[in-house]
Chains A and B, each alone.
Chain A
């Protein structure tokens, strides 16, 4: 083991098959397919904290198979490796999955904020910080998310977060044109509120942040659900043209009619097929309007479309997830996510601006709030988050 290899700790909720922890931490331990070979990260994951250890736990198996990785009973001990001082060069926080109570609004209270606070307490007591990655959104609670962001800035450590959607394959393999003027952007995905809505929002944001002027933040959001969703759809509250384009990128369009394997649905078909549709419609401070649609029963993938100035037809692509729900066995969209983490741990610099995920965290919370308040428009002055995109694209092409 070379002396200059970064040493990492992972702070996680649960390590069972198909949990995010398994997908991400296994990739550090076992390596993964990257760039045409089986790639082993040039770093060592030596400490692991797991918040919930159930009957289906894999952390003990992994620790036995990778003895360089020790399991610690507390986050502080994991970060200090029992030395009393921060003993690492990077921290991976995976607070997705596990049994946690829900808020009255239905948000799962994953303890990402608590994990963060315990990690930065070690940073403080050690007088030293290291880069940190946070899987998915920062927190279900906007105030906490903002505090996590502010703390990272105050303490000056590299902080990166988010979903696999912005970094996975795209079919077709296209980047959002730098500096494009865009009036409308839309994503059709699937999954639940306070869960896959975040992936849909990151899908959109990872693209539109490259527009002319960069990101300006979001001023309001309105959620639609059930009948109100279909009314809004009929009234073209969001562009039908973009819905059609996004649906034409899907590889998982539920056939609208028996006896057909791939047939374009009418709005009536969609209404019949979709269970509990959800839309988040929101406007950025520069006037860009975005729509995130969850259409369970119609698609099982994430598809993006946007209206670009000067283009004859919508710009569209699928953010392709090889999904191990029977379609594949490996959730390889974690490959590019892990690779981006590695780059941060090797260089000390995030490859993706944390402000993207701060914004999508706030949008997720605003969506939940709008739904909870009866699908009203919520003003979002707290989301006046300005940032510029990373110069280099980070989506998977190699």
Chain B
């Protein structure tokens, strides 16, 4: 093992892993920005200082050996981290994955391209260079004739075409690839796992925050539930994004169910409006406050190829957390749960995600299919296309992404 400082040794001493003599897995982190609370910092640090897991301070049997950082603002932490923990920040991605040499020198690559100053396109998507990062990593794999597992944080890319190329490359070069959000793997209140193979009559997710950051999380949380339906994932046939009064009108037209929204909101610990004014609990659907309260609601309508329909409502003025309601055929009641996003600065939900990344690094098998994230990346892009095309319904033949859900969705229960 490399030299830890005394402080980090003590930090890890709460629970040293019981691995044998095998050398730690060497990790390269390829990131946009490494500042406090950026994804690269809070996910990357899990592999540097460990993380709380299952009642212990878990120290992965890993060693971050190299880091690439695309942007270094004044609050950059990459150099300080590298100095303290004995790794290097390299000026290029290929140098990072080769640790300055000419050959691939790591056992896994984490591509964390969230946060940093990047332009937005006309759809409002931040043009994070995840595809470009990935391509440079894959180029090394290809020239080497050898690949290692890759984790890609959040959406694969703002562009489905690029995302699909990334997934195709991982298949062609035969390396395990994991991607996506923490929401599918964080704790659920209550613990709710849809039985594999269930028939879904309706699904509605309610969330908060802007596009294209938080809507991605919400769509992926919704997808990790829906992919468990009978027949497995078959892809998406069409999408539509509505805004403003059209969202409420869509409910009157039966496109989304108020009962489903009531159930989803019943799981929220973060209602706005009167709750903020005087603390009261609210049945926002029953009292009818929503249209007056929510200035700019967005509704994302997803129609799957097998006919299943799902809706995401982003109601930032009404709610501050992420909750789903699902009506399963044969179950009399709507089922619902909250995907728990634990508070800053610990954001322990990212420890749930780190444990899945670690599982892939240690086992060489991605614990859940990257196609989930591929499909959600495309779903979101097409929803935003719908918005710029006058909120039209858009056919999505390109989103015929088929995959099988894992037997266990692997959200955190420990």
Contact = CB atoms under 8 A, between A and B. Distances in A.
Interface of A: 17-18, 22-23, 26-27, 30-39, 58, 61, 169, 171-173, 244-245, 247-253, 255, 257, 259-266, 305, 313-317, 320, 322, 324, 327-332, 396-398
Given A251-B348, A266-B10, 19 more contacts: A18-B279, A33-B267, A36-B266, A36-B325, A36-B335, A36-B336, A248-B57, A250-B52, A252-B343, A259-B36, A260-B49, A261-B42, A262-B42, A262-B348, A328-B269, A328-B320, A329-B320, A330-B268, A330-B269
Interchain residue pairs A-B with the least CB separation, the first 10: A33-B266, A322-B269, A38-B283, A316-B55, A328-B269, A251-B342, A261-B345, A264-B11, A248-B52, A17-B279
Interface in B266-317: 266-272, 275-276, 278-283, 285-286
A313 B56 contact: yes
Nearest to B75: A259
Given A17-B279, A33-B281, A266-B11, A259 B77 contact: yes
Interface residues of B, number: 66
B36 A169 contact: no
B14 A244 contact: yes
Nearest to A265: B11
Contact of B190 (A58, A330, A398): A398
Contacts of A247: 52
Contacts of A264: 11-12, 14, 49-50, 52, 57
B37 interface: yes
A265 B36 CA distance: 18
A262 B56 contact: no
B279 A324 contact: yes
A43 B342 CA distance: 34
B333 A36 contact: yes
B413 interface: yes
Given A36-B335, A37-B262, A252-B346, A330 B270 contact: yes
A262 to B, nearest CB: 4
B143 interface: no
Contacts of B271: 329-330
Given A31-B281, A32-B281, A259-B36, A329 B270 contact: yes
Given A37-B263, A264-B14, A30 B281 contact: yes
A59 to B, nearest CB: 11
A255 B41 CA distance: 13
B370 to A, nearest CB: 26
Interface string B44-73: 011001111101110000000000000000
Nearest to B412: A172
Contacts of A398: 190
A37 B412 CA distance: 24
B74 interface: no
A30 B283 contact: yes
Given A262-B347, A328-B270, A248 B14 contact: yes
Contact of A397 (B41, B191, B286): B191
B54 to A, nearest CB: 8
Contacts of B7: 257, 266
B11 A38 contact: no
A242 to B, nearest CB: 10
Contact of B347 (A26, A261, A327): A261
Given A38-B286, A252-B343, A263-B49, A172 B56 contact: no
A172 B270 contact: no
A38 B285 contact: yes
Contacts of A260: 36, 45, 49
Nearest to B347: A261
Contacts of B14: 244, 248, 264
B414 interface: yes
B272 A329 contact: yes
Interface string B372-396: 0000000000000000000000000
Contacts of B279: 17-18, 22-23, 26, 58, 324, 330-331
25 contacts: A22-B278, A26-B279, A33-B265, A33-B266, A36-B266, A36-B333, A36-B334, A36-B335, A37-B263, A58-B279, A172-B413, A247-B52, A248-B15, A248-B57, A251-B348, A252-B346, A261-B36, A261-B41, A261-B347, A264-B49, A329-B269, A330-B268, A330-B270, A331-B279, A397-B190
Contacts of B345: 255, 261-262
Interface in B126-185: none
Contacts of B22: none
B119 interface: no
Question: Which residue, B45, B191, B279, has most C-beta atoms of chain A within 10 A?
Answer: B279
B334 A261 contact: no
